[in-house]
A and B are shown apart, each in its own frame.
Chain A
Amino acid sequence: MIRRLFAIIVVMACAAGVVAYQVARPAKAPATPRVFVPSPRFFLDFSPSFRTSIADAYYLQMVQYYGEHAKSDGRLDSLPQMVDLVTRLSPHFARAYLFGAFALIDAGRPDVSYMILQRAFKVDPNDYRYPSYLGFFVYHYGKGKTKDLVAARWYQKAASVPGSPTYLPRLAAALLGKGGETEKAILMWGQVYGAGDKYSRQKAVAGIDRILPADKAARMKAVAPLYGTMPKAEFDALIAELFKGYK
């Protein structure tokens, strides 16, 4: 009887100790800004059967890591390695590239973001999102006088992908004009006008009008290259709008 009582007391004491330890522990381990991220080479040598699964696991870790640090200490030291690892193991994982690209901007690494998106576009040249994001990042975060033109070229590439949205040519045209490539901008706006819908035509007319000189002769010379790039009726309609008010 005493032995049984003793055994019960010992078991209860152990159980109490376990519960007390668990309760006293912090609810969540403190997030460290630097985490160990293996080299992609290590996993690339691993079985091809499990690469995507490993990439998915690190993708989830990457999302959680971003979520823990972006709004707290703002330190995303290991993010570039994580994005690199996930995208090398799973080269067609679009969401990893797109999320990673934006997260890397927050991490203060637009250079890595740029590299990641370029790699993505090389792997998947039929996805317009990569060049359009590149155009966006270059325009917003790029430096130097040529950034508008560089962004414009990315938007042009995005616009050339079949099935891409109709706003991309407009963005390309606007940036070409802003960057000083007037001729190319006018031709680009001509393509936008050729889309046919009322909104595109309005935008195209406004866009061309913005970059055309006021002088009628110079204006006519500037729009002349559009002749032959669209049906004559369209060209005539465009000219009529551009020269409204001119005698």
Chain B
Amino acid sequence: MNQVVAVTINTFKETIRDRVLAVIVVFALLMIAGGLWLGSISLGEQGRMMKDFGLVALTVFGLIVAVFVAAGLVHKEVEKRTVFILFSKPVSRTAFIAGKFVGLCGTMAVVIAGMGLFLFVLVWIVAGQASGTLLLAVVMIYVQLLAVMAVTILFSTLGSAILAAVLGICVFVAGQLSHNVLALTRLGKNPLTEVLSWVIYVVIPNLSAVDIKAGAVGEQTLAWAQIGLWVAYLLAYLVVALALAAVIFRRKEF
């Protein structure tokens, strides 16, 4: 446990102090604030526009940060040979992967919370429409990004950081279209494509199920039991992804 805590703290400090991260977050805040201008041309729907576009900006920039930092976490250690220092000490590969992930979770929590609170305050001040559902939508975006981060870390143990980042983004997009893959399984007449579609459907995380952006603007009735179930599913999913990453990483030589 000490090892996981040590790697977690180290990862958090290393990632949160990265200047590139700060630049991206500042840009994201500017985009969120850009909702003010959109609101002014929306004929009185300022609150809705700010919430909706703010949450989209938060998702996009959160995804960029999550994927590119996650992709570089393991790869950077190998490239810069800090793994020599690390694994010459009594640190298991599994503890390393776990600590890296948890540390990044902490960093992402700070980033997402910062952007989310900024959006909340802006909507509250300008449109007076900030509610708890808006904050919950931010939390659900964070949960989605956790799953994407875990998958990206898995990919980073297999190949280069750029490839892992690109695949991480692809998984996010595919995760938003997961229900279409399910529809495909029901359309196929060929048993092989049906099986393949099923496999893809099971493997791709269903991210849209926990997205409640529509609920934040009043378009969705929130079924909490169902959302809770999907959150638990995503958490189990990321455990499996990280376990696979640990298994692959154990076989790596430096």
Contact = CB atoms under 8 A, between A and B. Distances in A.
Interface of A: 45-53, 56, 59-60, 63-64, 90-93, 95, 99
A213 to B, nearest CB: 48
A65 to B, nearest CB: 12
Contacts of A91: 219
Contact of A92 (B44, B56, B219): B219
Contact of A53 (B56, B180, B207): B56
Interface in B188-242: 207-208, 211, 213-214, 217-219
A63 B219 contact: no
Contact of B52 (A46, A53, A63): A53
Contacts of A92: 218-219
Given A47-B208, A52-B214, A95-B43, 20 more contacts: A45-B180, A48-B211, A48-B214, A49-B213, A49-B214, A50-B176, A52-B219, A53-B53, A56-B48, A56-B49, A56-B53, A59-B45, A60-B42, A63-B41, A90-B219, A92-B218, A92-B219, A93-B219, A95-B48, A99-B43
Contacts of B44: 95
B52 A51 contact: no
A83 to B, nearest CB: 14
B162 interface: no
B38 interface: yes
Most buried by B among A47, A51, A91: A47
Contact of B208 (A45, A48, A64): A48
Interface string B164-184: 000000000000110110000
A46 B218 CA distance: 19
A95 B179 CA distance: 29
Given A46-B177, A47-B208, A49-B213, A60 B218 contact: no
A91 B219 CA distance: 7
A175 B226 CA distance: 48
B218 A53 contact: no
Contact of A47 (B38, B53, B176): B176
Nearest to B183: A45
Nearest to B180: A45
Most buried by B among A47, A52, A53, A92: A52
Contacts of B217: 52, 90
Contacts of A64: 41
Contacts of B211: 47-49
Contacts of A90: 217, 219
B207 to A, nearest CB: 7
B43 A49 contact: no
B121 to A, nearest CB: 21
19 contacts: A46-B176, A47-B177, A47-B208, A48-B208, A49-B176, A49-B214, A50-B176, A52-B52, A52-B213, A52-B214, A52-B219, A56-B45, A60-B38, A60-B49, A90-B219, A91-B219, A92-B218, A92-B219, A93-B48
A38 to B, nearest CB: 16
